Chains A and B, each alone.
Chain A
Amino acid sequence: MSPKLPTQAGLGLKPEHFQDVLRTRPGVGFFEVHAENYMVDGGPLHQALTRIRAEYPLSLHGVGLSLGGDSPPDEAHLDRLAKLIDRYQPAAFSEHLAWSSHGGVFFNDLLPVAYTAATLQRVCEHVDRVQERLRRTMLLENPSTYVEFSHSTLSETQFLNSVMQRTGCGLLLDVNNVHVSCVNHHRDARRYIDELALDRVGQIHLAGFTQDTDGAGDPLLIDSHGAPVDEAVWTLYAALLSRLGPVPTLLERDNDVPSLATLVGEAHRAAALLADSAPALLCAA
């Protein structure tokens, strides 16, 4: 049984910050890495992650399993994940409700899934296989999307809740993705969150987006991971914490990565909200 992630604020670990992390030992609760970046035999990446893992809990975040794909998860890829999990003993493993491979081609993006009974069945089978192979419960992340499918018969929240109910997996609730998708599809973010089985939230992601417009000139938000967390996302996050209490929370930044100190500052803002949301300790009589 692996330890749980602490209910603190963590940071996405970037190679450009390895030395700063090891030198300054920033006060964050955990680090998260993209599993695929560490699927190499050896060298400085593993050296740094080994040293950092010795000091911090780790969350392993996959971006290549293609759970929403037409085909079952690639067994060779599951083997690589199992090897990483064995080596680093992460406190959590998460993946996306999305697909990224088709017909043997890897697209390096999180692509949208139509929400139908057939795709639900398939995603559940894929999550079952992952959990069986990795011998652990995974967290499934809600997506940010830019299109919808006219043949979808379920809402995204119905789809996510059904996958969790059928497979026992948990939810990685990406609050930025909630905001991005709800703006892009003209939905109410608070209602979206209300509809989710919140008791299954095992981790929260916060990130930044960039702004564009669609064919009609309406706002289209892009989940770029290249900007600070937006105030609207902080507001949703604070409201969520007031309902759930503290939840392990990750600040993600993958593009235009600023200094470690800047990211630690953002993590501290999340940490302050986490502290506020902790239930007051009961005093012994």
Chain B
Amino acid sequence: MNRPFAAALLEPTQAVPQGLCAWNGSDPTRRLAVYRNNVLSSLIDALADLCPVVQALVGEEFFRAMAGIHVRQSPPRSPVLAHYGGDFPAFIEAFEPARSVRYLADVARLELARRRAQNAADTEGLTAERAQAALSDPQRVPELRLRWHPSVTLLRSRYAVASLWAAHQTEGEPELEHIDPDQPQSALVLRHAFEVLVLPVSPASARFIEAGLDSAALGDAVAAAMQVDAAFDLTGTLGPLLSYDALTGIELPTRNA
């Protein structure tokens, strides 16, 4: 019964559904427009809240036009708007008018990772003592698997996403002229002490973390990182991961008989 009304909401060219009326006999188009505007603008607002740096990079007018197209193509499927916008980066990547800002989709990915970190479950980090105990038997170390805090995302980009994002975190006009946007960067996004952090990581560390997040054995993750940089330092990478509570466990895999 709500179908014709629903169909008219996201399609401004759709005719006003039959059966709408007003006390003064006026054309209900203006009245329906209140609902159309509420739906579209509130969902664009949701994407703007999610991606403030993307909006700053392209300007509010361009952002709202772009987001409006995305809202119409991919409206939310859940009343929990904290889950909305997951396919916005892919949309931006394919959005022809935004092509000239080639790093825009990756900045959106970083902002989505920040939201994910913000809302992830609260889980105790692994203590240095437990980590040390797990690493004390050199025979077993290569077999160990890392368990990660649910807030953690590793973002690998062909662009300087972390620097571009960071430049927008200070008051006033962002200083972008010192940033080479084509400098590839990797960033670890996580939540520590109720604050979301964006931590730049070296290419070798990024390879290690990526393998670890993929449940690779520690030995294989180190080998992958050393292919990127033979001087990869496991302790130097694990230390910050532990201090930022990025890890929740280091353990042997449970073996199936």
Contacts and interface: CB of A to CB of B under 8 A. Distances in A.
B150 to A, nearest CB: 7
B27 A215 contact: yes
A265 interface: no
Interface stretch (B34-42, B133-141, B221-229): B34-42
Interface in A207-260: 212-216, 218, 220, 222
B28 A108 contact: no
Contacts of B6: 102-103, 105, 107, 111
Contacts of B82: 37, 39-40
A41 B76 contact: no
A119 B1 CA distance: 9
Nearest to B9: A107
Contacts of A106: 75-79
B76 A108 contact: yes
A213 B22 CA distance: 12
B1 A109 contact: no
Interface stretch (A146-154, A160-168, A197-205): A146-154
B28 to A, nearest CB: 5
Interface in B74-96: 75-82
Contacts of B25: 216
A101 interface: yes
A46 B122 contact: yes
B119 interface: yes
A103 B31 contact: no
Interface stretch (A21-29, A63-71, A85-93, A272-280): A63-71
B121 interface: yes
A112 B118 CA distance: 34
Interface string A42-75: 1111110000000000000001111011100010
A186 interface: yes
A111 B1 CA distance: 13
B19 interface: yes
A220 B29 CA distance: 13
Instruction: Bin the interface of chain B by size.
Output: 35 or more
Most chain B CB atoms below 10 A, which of A107, A150, A184:
A107
Interface residues of A, number: 54
A108 B1 contact: no
B128 interface: no
Contacts of A65: 79
Contacts of B19: 114, 149-151
B145 interface: no
A108 B42 contact: yes
Given A42-B120, A119-B1, A218 B79 contact: no
Contacts of B194: 43-44, 47
Interface in B96-154: 117-123, 150-151
A100 B80 CA distance: 12
Nearest to A80: B80
B46 interface: yes
Contacts of A43: 117-120, 122, 151, 191, 194
B122 A109 contact: no
A19 to B, nearest CB: 12
B39 A109 contact: yes
14 contacts: A37-B82, A39-B80, A41-B122, A43-B122, A69-B2, A106-B75, A109-B38, A111-B2, A111-B5, A114-B19, A150-B20, A213-B30, A216-B24, A220-B30
